[in-house]
Structure 1
Amino acid sequence: MNRTDALNVVKESIARAVPDADLATLGPDEAFRDALEMDSLDFLTYIEFLGERTGMRIDDEDTPQLTTLSSSADFLVAHVK
């Protein structure tokens, strides 16, 4: 998976978890959980959609790497074949 594809998957997963999220105003290194006012259930839903979309298992210890658009995309590039 290349970085552009990974970033698209991240944005699609966030949009599915928080349908009214305005991703256009979100910076690449901004913590989107705070910026989009995601509660823990929204964040868990995002992680589940991300796992579904990529076919990979995402463990609890991976979630700190999935808090910005940029770090989430980097994680996917590194872990998805």
Structure 2
Amino acid sequence: MNRTDALDVVKESIVRVIPDADVAALGPDDTFRDALEMDSLDFLSFIETLSERTGVRIDDEDTPCLTTLSGSADFLVARTK
């Protein structure tokens, strides 16, 4: 998976959890929880959706990497090589 594909999957996963989220306005380093007012249940749902859509196993210790578009894309690119 390349970085562009990874960013698309991350954005689509966010929209599945928060349908009215303005992902186009998200900066690469904006934290989802702050920018989208994502609560812990939404964040967990995002992680589960991301894992299901990519087939990438995401452990609890990986979640700090998945709080921004940039971090999530980097994580997916690294895990799908």
In the superposition, the TM-score normalised over structure 2's length comes to 0.96
**Structure 2: stretches of 5+ with no match in the other structure:** none
Match of 1:11 in 2: 11
Match of 2:70 in 1: 70
Identity of aligned residues (%): 79
Cα distance in 2 between the residues matched to 1:43 and 1:80 = 22
After TM superposition, give the deviation of residue 79 of structure 1 in Å.
Answer: 0.3
After TM superposition, give the deviation of residue 32 of structure 1 in Å.
Answer: 1.4
In the superposition, the TM-score normalised over structure 1's length comes to 0.96
Instruction: Write out the 4+ residue segments of structure 1 that deviate beyond 4 Å after TM superposition.
Output: none
Match of 1:60 in 2: 60
Match of 1:80 in 2: 80
Q: Contact 2:6–2:76 (CA<8 Å) still a contact in 1?
A: yes
Give per-residue Cα distances to partners, 1:22-68, cap 9 Å, x unaligned. 11111011111111000011000000000001112100000000000
**Structure 1: stretches of 5+ with no match in the other structure:** none
After TM superposition, give the deviation of residue 17 of structure 1 in Å.
Answer: 0.8
Matched, 1:39 2:17: no
> How many residues were matched structurally?
81
